[in-house]
Amino acid sequence: MKLLILLGLVLLIIAVHQLMRVVELSREFKKTKEWEVTDSDNSFNGKGMLLGGFGLIAFFFWQVNRWADNLLPDASSVHGQKVDALWNYNIWLVTIVFVLVNAFLFYFAYKYTGKKGVKATFLAHDNRLEMAWTIAPAVVLAGIIIFGLKYWNEITERSTTADKVTIELYAKQFDWTARYAGFDKKLGSTDYRQIDGGNSVGLDTLDATGYDDILVKNEFHIPVNKEIEFKMRSRDVIHSAYMPHFRAQMNCVPGMVTEFKFTPNKTTAEMRKDPYVIQLMAGINEARAKKGEEPVEFDYVLLCNKICGASHYNMQMTIVVESEKDYKDWLLTQPRFKKKIASK
């Protein structure tokens, strides 16, 4: 395949070179100088611009149609639906502007091709035009920024919900640890000097608040339709906690705690029954089958969205969204921090 692509590029270069030679010979035949631009040249270039421009727009829409079925499914969180709405607004706005600007650009290149004896009108300045193309974009961008900040503040403001679920996400090269507050609904304090094989997140063993904390790896559970407050820390470098299906992302920075919150509104089981998700997973499993790999089911995931080292790609954790009852049942089966320390 690579050899065919290389051969195609070589043939294209040869074809372009030969075409240039044909143009040069045609000029010699017509007895015109190489640097002279004729009306015929301008007409040819104008038509080329018109065809090329509309070809570019057609290619754009073809690409949109080609990849439309590979997008993420609808957001699975309350604020994520607002983010999707803002995203869709931006995409439609940008698409309309892109099509109109480029359509006029290439059409005018064709319509106003240079002709002998025709002189362009020189317009030095127009206050109305200046006002129009300054104020209109400013108003549109202000609207986007205002709504974007509003949605951002909704997930980053300190949670005031009494029955929220608090989870700490602890990042290090190259895995995640999720820590849940225990029966007291308070996370224990931490001390990096106490990090060791049995205390991977550095829980302060002198702080009784952390004795009932729960630490899990590989997979963590959250209840549907309940506010989840995340607190994030990093042991080594900057990581980024990214949960694409919930439209949530926050950097994990060494030496500080970052936070966000969201409310999931679709369980993992509901997502697995969604027609669009079924279609996506069918495509993924088809590709896996060609590689001789086993099929997989849909799962929510926590990813690192910062290139944090050699195994960055493998830094992920499964998220299970389930009913509150199932979540509480699962939580009861997880060992508490004090028991883990005692068993070491």
Rounded to two decimals, the pTM is 0.79
| Maximum distance among all Cα pairs of the chain, rounded to whole angstroms | 97
Retrieve residue 31's tokens: 């007895």
Please report how the helices 78-111 and 39-67 are oriented relative to each other, as an axis angle in degrees rounded to 10. Answer: 160
- Angle at alpha carbon of residue 5, lines to 4 and 8, rounded to 5°: 85
Retrieve residue 336's tokens: 């508490």
pLDDT reported for residue 181: 87
pLDDT reported for residue 46: 87
For the chain, domains (ranges, CATH) are 41-114+128-157 (no CATH), 165-343 (2.60.40.420)
Kindly indicate the confidence band of residue 323, based on its pLDDT and cuts at 50, 70 and 90: very high
* Amino acid residing at 157: E
Kindly indicate the confidence band of residue 343, based on its pLDDT and cuts at 50, 70 and 90: low
Kindly indicate the confidence band of residue 339, based on its pLDDT and cuts at 50, 70 and 90: low
pLDDT reported for residue 138: 92
Read off the pLDDT of residues 193-246 as tens digits, 9 standing for 90 and up. 888 877 888 888 888 888 889 999 999 999 999 999 999 999 999 999 999 999
With a cut of 90, say whether residue 17 has pLDDT above it. no
Per the listing, tokens 């000029």 go with: 27
Please report how the helices 78-111 and 127-156 are oriented relative to each other, as an axis angle in degrees rounded to 10. Answer: 160
pLDDT reported for residue 29: 65
For the chain, give the mean pLDDT: 87
Read off the pLDDT of residues 150-204 as tens digits, 9 standing for 90 and up. 888 888 888 788 888 999 999 999 999 999 988 888 888 888 888 887 788 888 8
pLDDT reported for residue 12: 87
How far is Cα of residue 267 from the mean position of the Cα atoms in its chain?
A: 22
